[in-house]
Amino acid sequence: MANVTIIGTQWGDEGKGKVVDLYAQDADVIARFQGGNNAGHTIVIKGEQSIFHLIPSGILHDNKICIIGNGVVVNPKVLLQEIDGLNQRGVLPPNTKLYVSEKAHVIMPYHWRLDIARESHGLGKKIGTTGRGIGPTYEDKIARVGIRMCDLLDEQVFREKLAKNVEEKNFYLTKLFQEEPLDSEAIYREYRIYADRLRPYVADTSMIMNEAIKKGKKILFEGAQGSHLDIDHGTYPFVTSSNTVSGNAGCGTGVGPSLVGAVIGICKAYTTRVGGGPFPTELSDAIGDKLREVGHEYGATTGRKRRCGWLDIVLVRQSIRLSGITGIALTKLDVLTGIEKLKICVGYRTPQGEFTESVPSNPRLLAQCEPIYEELEGWKDDITKTRNIGELPSNTRRYIERLEELAGVKSVLVSVGAGREETIVLKNPFIG
């Protein structure tokens, strides 16, 4: 079986977009399995940047099938903007097809209104939400009142569900948050336009994927965010609202778990996170600033500054365990060039003075943990033009080797720059 699943090993922003774009060359089907337009996957081809929030990152390749799975929550306006943008730029390949699962839940205006109201009115501790309505949409999904793509296309069902939901959400908006109410009829008219435009894309994507697998086609499962933003296994409550680990690849697309295949964990050569939450290796100094500026660490979705710090192997090892990662794709290694001494966090010292190699579930305890570092020599040579692992500076190779030793997993790819071609490929996971 030649299927591959891509997930992030940190708090997202690891460079999944570039890796998905690379592996899409060998895949027949590229399927996004969770998250929404809170994700931002960046691809640079011949100096031109493309950012995708909903459409799978393999869309720029011809003769592919790209699928937005049932586990994704879809903002129809954003999806149409992405489709229109690709068409206007003339980069949408003629023979590549895009499908959206009929079971994917739809982000409605009341979702992002509630998202923003909760964060801005200070009910509870701020978690740094993107304000895109992702969490409230997943809430409605679990509460069994959500509107799915198939509902959106059914005029009667959509009107009935919308009316009930707007009535309830307006109660929260007006009574709890003292916000202006929403107009159900205006939303209905707007979303009917979206429904008509999206109708050709909506399909039983589970059937499409399983038929492709029967024919021996290669599937690339694309995750969003990172393992430590997983709703169950992340640094709760500073997490996203879906399961980001590889176990959700099958559930979020409608295929059996035995078909997920190899699992590639994307690992940035240092650590970043956006929003609130504990971050043991965070750097609030000149090195942290250098990582941010050289690595262009600003959110592709929000534009917010990313918090930067040393590579935390404790986080990476937990991700490997949770997702059964079989290979590491190391990204942004070039950003470390010019730093004299590099550090890798190999464990934590707890407030009680004990050494631990696990990530505490309690965010307060994690915030109090002191990182235990191992120091390595840095390098000064430009590595962006290197295409062979043996041609890298000895200290660069030592950094990669030590990461592999600590993680217990070999690298399959090393990214030495933002461009598609700035990559050292060590192993093709589709071949095995």
Query: Hey, which residues are catalytic here?
Result: 13, 41
Distance CA 190, CA 226 (A): 33
- Work out the burial of residue 49: count CB atoms within 10 Å of its CB; fewer than 13 is exposed, 13-18 middle, 19 or more buried: exposed
Pairing of β 341-349 and β 370-377: antiparallel
- Give me the sign of the Cα torsion angle 389, 390, 391, 395: positive
- Work out the burial of residue 19: count CB atoms within 10 Å of its CB; fewer than 13 is exposed, 13-18 middle, 19 or more buried: buried
**Alpha helix locations (H) across 128-183?**
134-143, 149-152, 155-171
Distance CA 230, CA 328 (A): 19
Distance CA 427, CA 295 (A): 25
Three-class DSSP category at 122: coil
Q: With CA atoms as reference, report the closest residue to 100 among 205, 237, 222.
A: 205
Secondary structure percentages of the chain, helix, strand, coil, to 5: 35, 20, 45
Q: At what angle do helices 109-120 and 155-171 cross, to 10 degrees?
A: 20
Q: Which amino acid is at 386?
A: T
Q: With CA atoms as reference, report the closest residue to 64 among 30, 18, 89, 33.
A: 30
Taken as a whole, the chain contains a residue count of 432
Q: With CA atoms as reference, report the closest residue to 43 among 17, 25, 61.
A: 17
CA angle, 374 then 331 then 402, to 5°: 30
Distance CA 101, CA 148 (A): 9
Distance CA 135, CA 127 (A): 11
